[in-house]
Structure 1
Amino acid sequence: MSQRSSRSERRHAPPGRRAHPPPAGVPDAPRSPSAPPSLLLAALIGPSLLGCGPAGGASFPAASELPEERRRPDGVAIDPASAPPRPVNRADARDGVVTLRTPLGIGPALDVVAEFFQRVIAEDSEALSELLTRDALAIQTGSGGQGQPPSAGLWWEQRFRRLDYGKLAGEPIYRESELQIFRAEDVLAAPQHPAIQPETLDDQDVVIRVPIMTARIAADRLLGDEIVVWLRRDGPRFKIYRLLEDFQIQ
C-alpha cells in the first residue's frame, strides 16, 4: 500500500517540484544561491570603463596663452559683381551675354486704347498725358502731310477747350471685335497708313486701327471716322507714340 501511494504522489506532483534522488552512495551537493543579473552586468562593464577612461581631466588654453598673431580677415571677392546688360528687344548670337525683354501681349495694348477714350470723355488732359510717350504726335491724315504735326497732348488740350467731349458719355465709341491689330512685322509686310513710316517701327510696336461708331453728337463732330493708335513699349507697358486721325477743329 505504501509503494502505490508514493507512485501516485510522484505522478501528480508538479514538474518543478519533481525530485531526482542522487545515486546511491553519493551525498547531496549543497546549492549556492545564484547572483542577480545586475551584479553580473556591473562586473562585466566595470573593468572596461576603468580601462578606457581618460587618465586625467581635459585642459584648454586660457586667453592669455593664445598666440598674439594678428587675425586675418575672412576672404572677400576680388572682383565686384558686374551689373547685367541693359535689356534689349533683339540681339544677335555674336553679342555675347545679353538681356532680352519679355514681349508684351496684345492685352496691354487694348487696355491703353480703352483708357485713352475714357480719359478723352472725361476731358482729363493730365491723365491723358500719362498714356503718351514724350514725343507723341497727333498726325492729321486729311492735311496731306503738310506742316509739322502737333504734340498729341497739346492737340487734345485744344480740342477739350473747343468741344464738349462729355457728350460721348454712355455712347458706344467702338467695338473691340472690329479692331484691326497689327504687329511691326505685319506693318512692314503691308503698310496700313502712309503716315506710318516702316523705318521708324520698333520690333515690339503695335498698331491698332479703331473704327469709330459715334463720331458725332447732333451737329457736333467730335471724332474722326477712324483713329489709328500706334503704340510703343515703355518699360512694362505700352504708351501711345502716334495718333492718326482725319479730323479738323472747326
Structure 2
Amino acid sequence: MLVFVAAGLVGCAGAGAPLFATTSELPEASRRPDGVAVDPASAPPRARDVASAEAGLVTLRTPLGAEAVFATVSGFFRAIVDEDMEALGPLFTRDALSLTTTFGPNNSSPSAPLFWTQRMRRLDYTKLAGEVVFREAELEVFRAEDALTSSPHPAIRVEALSAGDVVVRVPITTSRVGADRLLGDELVLWLRRDGERYRIYRIVEDFQMP
C-alpha cells in the first residue's frame, strides 16, 4: 500500500509543466496598485439660516440658543452701568440705530453708539451699580423664523426681519435712581446674528434725553 501511494505521487510530479507562475517567472518590477476613480471634493454650499425644499443641496446653520441672546443683552446693560464704550461698541452692528428717540435733527434715528455716548456724557449710569436693572426671567424673545403675525413693537415691521433675527423685549426693573431717569420702562432690542453671536441692530426705547 505504501509503495503504491509513493508511486502515485511520483507520477503526478512528473506530469507536464505547472499551471501557475513560479517565483522565478514573476516580473522584477514592483507591482503598482490598481487605479481607483476618485471624485474631487467640492466645497459645501454657503451656510444659510433657512432654505426651501426646492433648493436642493443646502447647508443650514444651527440656530443659536437662548444663552447667546442673554449674553448680548446682559453684556449691553453691563457696559452701560460701567459706562464702558469699549465694551459697548462691539455689541452693535455697523449700522445700529436707536429708534423712537428725540435725539438728533427732525427726530431722525441716530447711530446707536453715538446716542449712547451722548447719554453717558450727560447722565451718570454708574448710579445703577448694585441695582437690578432687568430680570432674565422677564425677557420676551421673538425669532424671525417663528412666523410672527404681529410685530413685538410698532417700530419694528415683521416683514423687515431677516432670517436669524431675534427681537427681545426687556422690561426695566430700575429705570431711575432718585430724581434721575436713566432708562425707559422697557427696551426692545433687535438682534442680528453675526457668526456665533448676536449684535444689536436696532434699539427701541421711549426715552427723551434731558
Query: TM-score, length-normalised on structure 1?
Result: 0.65
Matches of 2:115 and 2:97, distance apart in 1: 9
Match of 1:200 among 142, 155, 160: 160
Matches of 1:238 and 1:83, distance apart in 2: 27
Match of 2:172 among 192, 209, 212: 212
**In the alignment, is the contact (CA less than 8 A) between 2:101 and 2:208 conserved in 1?**
no
Tell me what 2:100 maps to.
Answer: 140
The count of aligned residue pairs is: 194
1:243 aligns with 2:207: no
Q: Deviations over 1:153-201 (max 9, x none)?
A: 1111111111111111001101222222222255731222111021210
Tell me what 2:187 maps to.
Answer: 227
Matches of 1:234 and 1:84, distance apart in 2: 20
Gaps of 5+ in 1: 1-50, 52-58, 61-65
Matches of 1:132 and 1:242, distance apart in 2: 9
Matches of 1:187 and 1:181, distance apart in 2: 13
RCO higher in 1 or 2 (8 Å CA, sep ≥ 6)?
2
Match of 1:109 among 62, 66, 69: 69
Match of 1:156 among 105, 116, 133: 116
Matches of 2:107 and 2:37, distance apart in 1: 60
AA of the residue aligned to 1:248: Q
Which of the pair has more CA radius of gyration? Answer: 1
Matches of 2:199 and 2:108, distance apart in 1: 21
* More strand per residue: 2
Matches of 1:128 and 1:101, distance apart in 2: 27
Matches of 1:75 and 1:131, distance apart in 2: 55
Q: Secondary structure at the match of 1:139?
A: strand
- Closer, same or farther: CA 220–212 of 1 in aligned 2, 3 Å: same
Gaps of 5+ in 2: 1-9, 11-22
Identity among equivalent pairs (%): 57
1:88 aligns with 2:51: no
Give 1:239 deviation, angstroms: 1.3
Matches of 1:135 and 1:204, distance apart in 2: 17
User: For 1:29-48, what aligned pairs fall within 5 Å after superposition?
Assistant: none
RMSD of aligned Cα (Å): 3.3
Stretch deviating more after TM superposition (164-173 or 196-205): 196-205
Matches of 1:192 and 1:83, distance apart in 2: 39
